[in-house]
Amino acid sequence: MHHLCWSAKPPLNTSRRRRRRSSIATKTSTLLQNGIPIKSTLDNSSTVQYAGNVHQLLMKARGMVRDIDPQNDLTFLRVRSKKNEIMIAPDKDYFLIVIQNPTE
């Protein structure tokens, strides 16, 4: 005779990961290739600031990738500081910026 024991609780590590993921504050901004914001969850001032700085960073990073290999292109860029983690996903016509606080 076999006894099976099923637990309704997920393992502790899984619960911690879910709580951590749900508590990370996330902001997004979508920009055209020329750096003009078209949609954002940031306030206007922050949107303009991030748009300008991220656009410059993206163009420099894209240029560096092409200098190394002209057949290649930048597909994703992630920058992390103590305060924020900024993820940039460029596309043909626009790019997406995701900003989150990794410490929460």
Cα gap 103→85, rounded to integer Å: 9
Band (pLDDT 50/70/90 cuts) for residue 3 is very low
The structure tokens listed for 30 are 């979508």
Cβ proximity of 45 and 51 under 8 Å: no
Please state the rounded mean pLDDT for residues 18-41. 80
Residues in the chain: 104
If we measure between CA atoms, which residue out of 55, 56, 10, 61 comes closest to residue 36?
55
**pTM to 2 decimals?**
0.71
Fold of 25-100: Beta-Lactamase (3.30.450)
Q: Sketch the domain layout of the chain as residue ranges.
A: 25-100
Query: Looking at residue 103, what is its pLDDT?
Result: 76
Amino acid at 5: C
